[in-house]
Structure 1
Amino acid sequence: MITNQVSSSGIVRPSTKKYHASEYIQKSCKKTLYPDLCNKSLAKYSTKIKTNPKTLATAALLVAFNTTQSTYKILRNLSRNRALNPGEKEGLLECVEEVSDSVYELQKSFKELFFSRKGLKFELQMNDIQTWVSAALTDDDTCMDDFRASGRMNILVRGLVLRIARLSSIALSFINMYGV
């Protein structure tokens, strides 16, 4: 719920809590490689994130996971297209497998981060999460490196996979910040 405050001058401003949360996300996103995408993908979570580093990392990871899962479904459906030439089909099937691995790794990471607590096992948990998100990024890179197509199919697949790689990179940035 967005609340407004009326100042003595009569100007309506967003509530301080909402402002601080949005500002926190913007400042945090500036520390990533993709600040615009970061802001766009996390803005709607500002009331949940507030100024909590764990919640920020968890939200970023959730966005990466959900987008990767959607991308997997799109790529799987594209791979069933009968108009693909054999090389495109083979490359697309390899991408489907790589992105499927990314979904699995991001899901494990999300669960581990969600239930993580500062304490004895925290460093081990963070190492596991960092490893899994890094593996998801590697899978995305492998898909893009191995995919050979031309025209619109190439642009479409590379655009989809580049987006999930960037979202995973953003999540990894916040995981690294939270883990220190």
Structure 2
Amino acid sequence: MSAFVSNLSREADYGAQPRAVAALHDCFSVFGDAVDQIRDSLNQMHDGGSSESLRFQMSNVQTWMSAALSNEDTCTDGFEDVSDDEPLKLDVCNRAGKVKEVTSNALAFINSFANKI
């Protein structure tokens, strides 16, 4: 999604509504943060450790995945003041919605696992 938004932002500077372009640039930033948070979560899960350490690690993973989901929400929130017929808004929000669904599902699995340890 970050690469998609990055490529789209270069094209959008020349034809979309100024508010949509600003929201798109914000999306690029927050999706970059979300990718970092998801990457940190994956790295944390690979580390393993004692059960006490595992609980702490899973707490970190839950926090980072929740933050990633919040960042993804921030992306679509930025388009609230953009006209609903703006193609840029439709494209970004549709794709972001799919990413949010996957992130939300991953967080649900993580929460389920964390509740069992």
Same fold (TM over 0.5): yes
Give the one of 76, 79, 104 matched to 2:36.
104
TM-score by length of 2: 0.87
Are residues 1:176 and 2:105 paired? no
Q: Provide structure 2 residue ranges, at least 5 long, that are not aligned to the other structure.
A: none
Q: Provide structure 1 residue ranges, at least 5 long, that are not aligned to the other structure.
A: 1-70
Q: Which ranges of 4 or more aligned residues in structure 1 deviate by more than 4 Å? A: none
- Superposed CA RMSD in Å reads 1.3
Cα deviations across residues 85-111 of structure 1 (Å, max 9, x unaligned)?
Answer: 322211100011111110000000011
Are residues 1:89 and 2:21 paired? yes
TM-score by length of 1: 0.58
Q: The residue matched to 2:52 in structure 1 has which SS? A: coil
Give the one of 58, 67, 71 matched to 1:135.
67
- Count of paired positions: 110
Q: Which is helix-richer, 1 or 2?
A: 2
Question: What is the CA distance between 1:151 and its match in structure 2?
Answer: 2.9
Partner Cα separation in structure 1 for residue 49 and residue 101 of structure 2: 27
Partner Cα separation in structure 2 for residue 174 and residue 164 of structure 1: 16
Cα deviations across residues 125-166 of structure 1 (Å, max 9, x unaligned)?
Answer: 011000000000000111111123533221110011111111
Decide which moves more: 93-102 or 140-149. Answer: 140-149
Corresponding residue for residue 91 of structure 2: 156
Question: What is the CA distance between 1:115 and its match in structure 2?
Answer: 2.0
Larger Cα-atom Rg: 1
User: Quick one: percent identity of the two aligned structures?
Assistant: 28
